[in-house]
Amino acid sequence: MSLLTFWLQGDFVIRFVATALMALSVSTWVVILWKFSLLRRVKADVPQCTAAFWQAAQFDDAHARVAQFDRDASVLPMLEASLLPVGGTLAAAGEREHQLTRVLRDSLQNTLNRLQWGQLLLATAGAISPFVGLLGTVWGIFNALSGMAEAGQITLDRVAGPVGEALVMTAAGLAVAIPAVLAYNVFGRMVSQVEVVLEGFAQDLLNLLTGRQNH
């Protein structure tokens, strides 16, 4: 049976399940391709940015050097956040070290949130796709057996065809879930590796700026 025939002969539930799996598959692969490109660049750029920063003679020069490598603005926001606001606001209140800690933490969290975008979709697709496919299979088997019962003849030959067609929905659900789960784990690992480097750089930057003030 072709996909077109399967679609035309399916009822509302079968079409809904097929549409849901197709939407999950398309959105999952869009996120996978986008995140793979982003995280590959960020993972390569962040070490270069930190190395360029520490090789600079002055802070202003370091900002310009980092801008040459930071294609996705992963490190630059922390450097820009370290330029504290002028007085007269609550953001400028308190000791300089506390202000720097707050702005660097916020900048780092914003960067990590951007890198983690799409993880929820991958986790959701990986978790629910098999069950969505199973729903289509159970419903298809139920309809097939009901039709045979009404016809008054239930034989192995008459059961095998409809059941095999219904199992296609389970296979489709697994086909959506497996890439989503693999991508979720791989991207989670990549984000964690970048997070370690960024947190270390943020702490070193804080120590540098507070040390300059003390001297």
Lowest mean pLDDT among 166-175, 177-186, 187-196: 166-175
Number of domains the chain is built from: 1
pTM, to two decimals:
0.82
Domain-located, residue 207: yes
Domain-located, residue 128: yes
Domain-located, residue 134: yes
* Packed helices 12-55 and 59-69: angle between N→C axes, nearest 10 degrees: 140
Lowest mean pLDDT among 3-12, 22-31, 64-73, 119-128: 3-12
pLDDT band at residue 142, thresholds of 50, 70 and 90?
A: confident
CB count within 10 Å of CB 69 equals 19
110: exposed, middle or buried (C-beta count within 10 Å: 0-12, 13-18, 19+)? middle
Q: Which domain holds residue 35?
A: 3-71+102-214
Phi, psi of 70, deg, nearest 5: -85, 80
Domain-located, residue 83: no
Residues in the chain, total = 215
Domain-located, residue 90: no
- Looking at per-residue pLDDT, the higher value among 140 and 192 belongs to 192
Q: pLDDT tens across 38-76, in order? A: 999 999 999 999 999 999 888 888 888 999 999 998 999
Is 39:184 a contact under the CB 8 Å cutoff?
no
CA distance 166 to 171: 9
Average pLDDT over residues 106-111: 92
Domain-located, residue 125: yes
Domain-located, residue 156: yes
